[in-house]
C-alpha cells in the first residue's frame, strides 16, 4: 500500500504542475517559444497545414525523463 500512496502523490503533483502551466502558461516567456524552435517542422500547402514539433517534443521528453529520475530515488 505504501507504493500506491507514493504513486498517487506523484500523479497529484504532476496534475498540479500541468494545471498551473495551462492557467498561467501564456505569461511564461519560455513556454511561448516552445512551439517555434528551429527543429519544429511546418509544411503549408493549399488548404493543408502539417505541424510537427520535433525539437519541442525532444525537449519536453528530456524534461519528463529528468523528473522521473529525480522522483525515482
Instruction: Assess whether 44 and 62 both reside in one domain.
Output: yes
Instruction: Assess whether 27 and 41 both reside in one domain.
Output: no
Q: In this predicted model, what pLDDT tens digit does every residue of 4-63 receive, in sequence order?
A: 888 888 889 989 988 888 788 778 777 777 777 888 898 999 999 998 889 888 988 998
pTM: 0.57
Could you give the CA distance from residue 45 to residue 22 in angstroms, rounded to a whole number? 31
Instruction: Assess whether 26 and 53 both reside in one domain.
Output: no
Instruction: Assess whether 73 and 45 both reside in one domain.
Output: yes
pLDDT confidence of residue 73: 67
Domain count, the chain: 2
Could you give the CA distance from residue 48 to residue 7 in angstroms, rounded to a whole number? 42
Could you give the CA distance from residue 37 to residue 15 in angstroms, rounded to a whole number? 26
Instruction: Assess whether 65 and 51 both reside in one domain.
Output: yes
Find the domain containing 20 and state its range: 1-32
pLDDT confidence of residue 35: 73
Could you give the CA distance from residue 61 to residue 55 in angstroms, rounded to a whole number? 10
- Our measurement of the distance from residue 55's CA atom to the centroid of its chain's CA atoms, rounded to an integer in Å, reads 12
Q: Is 64 exposed, middle or buried (0-12, 13-18, 19+ CB in 10 A)?
A: exposed
Amino acid at each position: 500500500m505504501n507504493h500506491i500512496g507514493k504513486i498517487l502523490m506523484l500523479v497529484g503533483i504532476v496534475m498540479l504542475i500541468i494545471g498551473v502551466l495551462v492557467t498561467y502558461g501564456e505569461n511564461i516567456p519560455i513556454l511561448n517559444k516552445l512551439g517555434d524552435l528551429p527543429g519544429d517542422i511546418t509544411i503549408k500547402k493549399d488548404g493543408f497545414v502539417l505541424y510537427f514539433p520535433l525539437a519541442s517534443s525532444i525537449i519536453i521528453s528530456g524534461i519528463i525523463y529528468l523528473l522521473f529520475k529525480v522522483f525515482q530515488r
